[in-house]
Each structure stands twice: as C-alpha cells, then as structure tokens.
C-alpha cells in the first residue's frame, strides 16, 4: 500500500494507465468500427452484385423461354420441319432444339440426341413455356435444362440449354481472375451446376453458408470465418435465388482483399499515437529515475534522521541538482541537530548526575543526622516511659510510636533517595526489595522474576535500571489502574534486559522524545534519557485497554558477579 501511494504508482495508475487504456480503446475500437464498416460495405456491394448476376441469369433464361414459345407458336402453323429450320437465328442459345409433333415424333437436327427424353414429361407441363427439372447430360457428366412450350393442336417445342454456359457468360463479368472471389450456381437438389474462382467442390454443397437459404428463396449476406493453418480470415457470403428455376447463386470472397490498399492503411491511423505514448513513458522513466526515486530515498533517510540515525542522511541519493542541494541542506540541519541533541544530552546527564549527588547527600544527612537523632529521642522517650505513671505514661507511649513510625518513613525515604543496598548487594536484590516495598505502597501485587546467570553491570547502568524500574512502578500506581504488575530481569551473555509490565488502562505510545513531552509523559522521557545515557535502549509497548510494557536493554557487556 505504501508503494501504491508513491508518485510513480500514482502517475502510472492515474495518468499512464488511463491514457494507455484510452489509446487502446480508441485504437481497437476505431479499428473494429472501421473493419465492421468496411465489411458491411463489401457485404452490401457483393449482395448487389449477386442480385445483379441472378437477374442476368434470369434474363438469359427468359430470353430462351421466349424463343421456345415463339418456336411452338410457329410450329402450330407450319410443318415442324420447316419451323425447326426457321429457328436457326436463336439456336446458338441452346444445346439442341426439337419439336415433338402430335404423334410424339421427335423432329430435331439430331433426333438420336433426344433418346433420353421421355414424352410423358409433357403431361407435367402446367404453364407454357415451362422449365422442367434438370436432367443428366446425354453426352457428358453435367446437367441440362429443358424449356418446354406446348404447340397448339398437340406436341411441344423443346429447347435444351446448359446452365453452366449461362452462368459462365454471366459470372465472367462479375468474378474476375485475381479477385479472391468464388461463385457457385447450385441446383434445387443441392448439386453444383457451376463454380468460378478457387476451390474444387463435388457433390451437394447444401452445407455451405447461404446455399440452403437461397434455395428457400431468401436473399441476404452472411460472414464466414475460414481457417488455414495458423491463419484465419473473414469471408463475406452473399446469396440469392434464381427464378423461375429455383436455383441458388452464392458469391464468397475475403472482404479484406477486396478493400482498397489505401483504405486498409487507414486502419493503422490510431497507432500513430504510439510514439506519443513512448515519449510519455520515456519522460516518466526519466522523472522516476532522476526525481521520484531520489526523493523517495531522501524521504527514507529523513525518516531515519527523525529516529536519531544522523549518518543515514549523509549517503548521496543522486537525482537532479535541486534534490542534491536539498540533501545538502538536510545534512547541515542534521549536523546542527546532532550538536544540539548532544548538548541537551550532556546537560541532562549533568542534571541527572547533580540530582543523584543531591539525593545521595540528602540521604546521607537524613541517615547520619536526622534518623540518628530520632533514634536517640525514641530511646529517651522509652526511658522516660519506664518512670512515668498515669496519663503521662500513655502520652509517652504514643510519642514513642510516632517516633518509631517517623524513623521507618525516613529510612524508606533514604532508600528511595539513594538505595545503599544497590551499591552493596547489586541490582537483583535492590529490584527485589523495590518490588516488595512497592507492593505495600501501591496496594497491588508486584512480582519480581529473574532469568539467566546473574551479572553485575557498571554502577551507572545499575542505577539507571533501578531508577527506570522505580519510575515505571510509580507510574503504574498513579495512572495504570492495574490489578497486578510484573518485573522481570533477564541475563544473557550479551546484554541485560529489564521488563516492567502491567494489565492496566494503557495509553497511546510515541516514538520521539518531543511527543512524549507533549503527551505529558515526563517520567518516560526521563527514563529514556537515563537509558540513552548508559548506552541502553528503552522501548514502550502500550495501547488503550491492553496495559503497558516497558523494556530497557543494556548494550554494554555485563561484568560477572564475583564469588564472595
């Protein structure tokens, strides 16, 4: 989360990424719309071309139907042979032309060619002229179509045509070599009548898109995705029926190949913004390397400086000149701050030393003068009590008790001012006695525990640890509202650690001394200064409702307690 709040992440999330997404949307969206429009345009063009080709085929068929109808009309008034001889003007439109007379005789140029024709088919003719279903070609593998027109008085005129020839003549003007197009003319039974363009279809092709629809009489356009190895391309398929023979005409082509090359190049227009994006990324990279990263590094070092690590700010962070100048100013400020802090620490150390000396003097005077005088006074009161009678004896006894209590209070006060047993016995007995005294004074159980092999540090460290424990217990009694307190002293080969914890109300901790002072925790501020004065580290762990734990760890190597 910290990295996401940094300037590079915010620039990327709120500037570069939206611009990139917008560019991608514009590019891909524009390309998609452009391709859709071009595909639609090619589809509409192919649909018009397909309908025009179908109309041309229908026109060819209608012209042939009119020619057969004229032949039937002519045969009704003249001899069939003569009528057939007069049909030379339109005979090139047919494979063969024949007349069936009233007796069922075939009159044709080559009567043997009509051996396949069954005269019973005439009974199926409802309209004149009429297109009969396709039949197998008598001399090839193709199919032929028959147009029949009934002759008045009996018989019929028949024209045989090749659908492939008609389709070839029409589609040659629509599908040209190199157009990447293919056209299919399909019979009602689904068999292929004619194909132009690449491909080799044999047998029914009703499963091809558009064929079944056109055979049902529908007109339209669809699109087909054609895969070839690893490549694929979209084909536009236009279809329409051919009336009145119920054929299907289908045209298919790769629409991308049919667009103009200059038009296809316009698809790349959105990508001209890519250099702009590249320049923006280069600028961002420069800003991150020369501005953002040095500033982040400088911020980390400034944070370390706030924790008292004065050497951290001196390591160069690089970057532009203004950042280096700012680091130089921070180095100077850190130097002045370090000098001021050292002066303050020296002053506090001297103040603490003077305070301890004054406490020691007061404790000595109280012990040597005041307490001794009270003891002597108490002895005289006891001596006078042995001689007194009546009310005087009772008053002297009360005065003796007051003197005894005062002596006990003064001894406890002298121990607080300067615990002589700390110098004589060491830290462990002094803390044990402190826990016992504070249990009585605070009215709550204070447990003292030790771990490890006991060692004595220097006298300054012992005094600092004792004063910190004393201040911690005093704060527990004043503010914690605790039910119990625990004091632990842990010895390891490398350090001594004192921990004082309670189960009281707790408070919000602060890392810096100034924050401790602003929060009113002057006792903790003094404890921290005492710890730093002897090279120890003080840590406070507390939160509202979770109690408080104070831990002070000596960084100095302790001296083993000598055997006595």
**How far is 508 from 475, CA to CA, in rounded Å?**
15
Average pLDDT, the chain: 80
The tokens describing 428, both together, are 């462990």
Q: Is 544 helix (H, G, I), strand (E, B) or coil?
A: coil
Is the CB of residue 222 less than 8 Å from the CB of residue 240?
no
What residues contact 414, with CB distance under 8 A and at least 6 apart? 363, 366, 367, 371, 420
Domains of the chain plus CATH, in order, are: 45-259 (3.30.450.20), 424-564 (3.30.565.10)
Higher pLDDT, 377 or 29: 377
Share of the chain above pLDDT 70, in %: 85
Which pLDDT does position 520 carry in this prediction?
55
**Helix boundaries (H) for 156-268:** 163-171, 211-215, 255-258, 261-265
Cα 83 to Cα 25: distance, rounded to the nearest angstrom: 73
The alpha carbon of 110 is separated from its chain's Cα centroid by a whole number of angstroms, namely 83
Q: Where are the beta strands (DSSP E) in 85-230?
A: 96-100, 106-108, 130-136, 143-150, 156-161, 181-186, 192-196, 220-228
Q: How far is CA 332 from CA 127, 310, 325, 339, in A?
A: 113, 11, 11, 11
Confidence of residue 51 (pLDDT cuts 50, 70, 90): very high
Average pLDDT in the 434-456 region?
A: 87
CB 374 within 8 A of CB 403: yes
Q: Which of 14-23, 303-312, 360-369, 462-471 has the highest mean pLDDT?
A: 462-471
Q: What are phi and psi of 253, to 5 degrees?
A: -160, 155
The answer to whether the CB of 183 falls within 8 A of the CB of 250 is: yes
Mean pLDDT of 332-344: 81
Phi (first) and psi of residue 167, to 5 degrees: -60, -40
The answer to which of 205-219, 329-343, 460-474 has the lowest mean pLDDT is: 329-343
Strand partners, 183: 196, 251
Task: Please give the average per-residue pLDDT across 170-196, as a whole number.
Answer: 83
> How many percent of the chain have pLDDT more than 90?
16
Report pLDDT digits (tens) over 195-253.
887 766 666 788 888 899 999 999 999 888 776 655 667 788 899 999 889 999 998 88
Residue of 140, 120, 141, 121 lying closest to 131 (CA atoms): 121
Nearest to 558 by CA among 499, 501, 489, 470: 489
Q: Quick count: other Cβ atoms within 10 Å of Cβ 114? A: 17
In this prediction, residue 267 has a pLDDT band, given cuts at 50, 70 and 90, of low
In the predicted model, what is the mean pLDDT of residues 109-134? 84
Torsion of CA 183, 188, 190, 192, to 10 degrees: -40
Contact of 187 with 165, CB cutoff 8 Å: no
pLDDT at position 58, please? 93
Least-confidence region, from 160-169, 211-220, 259-268, 523-532: 259-268
CA distance 484 to 62: 115
d(CA 268, CA 265): 6
- Return the CA Rg of the chain: 57
Per-residue pLDDT band at 528 (split at 50, 70, 90): confident
Pair 66, 122: CB distance under 8 Å: no
Say what the pLDDT of residue 250 is: 92
The Cα diameter of the chain in Å comes to: 187
Compute, in degrees rounded to 10, the torsion defined by CA atoms 167, 169, 174, 177.
Answer: 100
Calculate mean pLDDT across residues 18-39. 72
Q: How many CB atoms lie within 10 A of CB 285?
A: 11
Q: Is the pLDDT of residue 30 over 80?
A: no
Confidence of residue 317 (pLDDT cuts 50, 70, 90): confident
Tell me: pLDDT of 564 over 50. Answer: no
For the stretch 78-93, pLDDT in tens is 888 888 888 888 888 8
| Lowest pLDDT segment from 166-170, 231-235, 465-469, 477-481 | 231-235
Mean pLDDT, residues 486-494 taken together: 90
pLDDT for 563 beyond 50: no
Residue 452 has pLDDT above 70, yes or no: yes
* Helix orientation angle between 391-417 and 427-442, rounded to the nearest 10 degrees: 130
| CA 515 – CA 512 distance, rounded (Å) | 5
Q: How far apart are the first and last CA of the chain?
A: 59
Question: Do residues 464 and 534 touch, judged by C-beta distance below 8 A?
Answer: yes
Per DSSP, which regions of 404-513 are E strands? 446-451, 455-456, 485-491, 496-502
Q: Of 100, 73, 75, 95, which Cα lies nearest the Cα of 85?
A: 75
Least confident of 125-129, 246-250, 307-311: 307-311
pLDDT beyond 90 at 29? no
Q: pLDDT digit string (tens) for 368-407?
A: 788 888 888 888 888 887 877 777 888 888 888 888 888 8
Q: Measured between alpha carbons, how far is 436 from 445 in angstroms, rounded to an integer?
A: 9
- 53 — pLDDT class (breaks 50, 70, 90): very high
For the stretch 237-261, pLDDT in tens is: 899 999 889 999 998 887 666 555 5
What six digits make up the tokens of 32? 């998609």
Concatenated DSSP letters for 374-403?
A: HHHHHHHHHHHHHH--THHHHHHHHHHHHH
């Amino acid at each position: 989360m910290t990295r996401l709040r940094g300037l590079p992440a915010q620039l990327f999330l709120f500037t570069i990424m939206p611009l990139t997404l917008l560019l991608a949307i514009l590019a891909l969206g524009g390309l998609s719309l452009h391709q859709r429009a071009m595909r639609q345009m090619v589809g509409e063009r192919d649909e018009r071309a397909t309908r025009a080709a179908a109309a041309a085929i229908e026109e060819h068929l209608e012209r042939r139907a009119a020619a057969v109808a004229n032949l039937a009309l002519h045969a009704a008034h003249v001899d069939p042979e003569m009528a057939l001889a007069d049909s030379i003007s339109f005979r090139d439109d047919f494979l063969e032309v024949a007349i069936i007379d009233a007796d069922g005789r075939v009159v044709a140029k080559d009567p043997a060619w009509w051996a396949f024709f069954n005269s019973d088919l005439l009974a199926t003719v409802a309209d004149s002229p009429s297109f009969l279903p396709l039949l197998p070609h008598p001399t090839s593998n193709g199919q032929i179509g028959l147009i029949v027109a009934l002759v008045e008085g009996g018989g019929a005129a028949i024209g045989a045509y090749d659908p492939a020839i008609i389709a070839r003549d029409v589609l040659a003007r629509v599908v040209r070599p190199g157009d990447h197009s293919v056209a299919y003319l399909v019979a009602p039974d689904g068999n292929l009548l004619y194909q132009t363009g690449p491909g080799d279809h044999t047998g029914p092709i009703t499963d091809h898109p558009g064929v079944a629809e056109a055979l049902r009489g529908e007109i339209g356009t669809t699109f087909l995705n054609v895969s070839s190895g690893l490549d694929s391309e979209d084909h536009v398929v236009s279809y329409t029926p051919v009336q009145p023979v119920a054929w299907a005409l289908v045209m298919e082509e790769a629409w991308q190949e049919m667009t103009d090359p200059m038009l296809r190049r316009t698809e790349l227009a959105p990508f001209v913004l890519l250099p702009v994006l590249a320049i923006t990324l280069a600028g961002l990279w420069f800003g991150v390397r020369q501005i953002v990263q040095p500033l982040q590094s400088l911020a980390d070092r400034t944070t370390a400086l706030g924790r008292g690590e004065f050497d951290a700010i001196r390591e160069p962070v690089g970057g532009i000149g203004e950042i280096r100048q700012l680091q130089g100013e921070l180095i100077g400020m850190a130097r002045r701050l370090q000098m001021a802090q050292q002066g303050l620490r020296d002053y506090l150390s001297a103040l603490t030393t003077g305070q301890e000396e004054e406490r020691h003097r007061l404790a000595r005077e109280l012990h040597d003068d005041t307490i001794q005088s009270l003891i002597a006074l108490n002895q005289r009161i006891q001596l006078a009590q042995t001689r007194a009678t009546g009310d005087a004896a009772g008053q002297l006894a009360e005065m003796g008790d007051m003197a005894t209590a005062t002596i006990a209070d003064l001894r406890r006060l002298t121990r607080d001012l300067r615990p002589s047993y700390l110098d004589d016995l060491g830290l462990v007995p002094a803390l044990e006695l402190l826990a016992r005294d504070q249990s009585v004074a605070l009215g709550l159980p204070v447990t003292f525990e030790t771990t490890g092999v006991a060692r004595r540090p220097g006298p300054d460290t012992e005094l600092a640890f004792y004063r910190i424990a004393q201040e911690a217990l005093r704060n527990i009694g004043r503010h914690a509202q605790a039910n119990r307190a625990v004091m632990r002293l842990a010895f390891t080969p490398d350090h001594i650690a004192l921990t004082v914890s309670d189960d009281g109300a707790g408070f919000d901790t602060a890392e810096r001394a100034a924050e401790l002072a602003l929060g009113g925790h002057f006792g903790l501020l003094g404890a921290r200064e005492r710890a730093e004065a002897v090279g120890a580290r003080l840590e406070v762990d507390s939160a509202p409702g979770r109690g408080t734990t104070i831990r002070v760890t000596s960084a100095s190597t302790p001296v083993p307690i000598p055997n006595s």
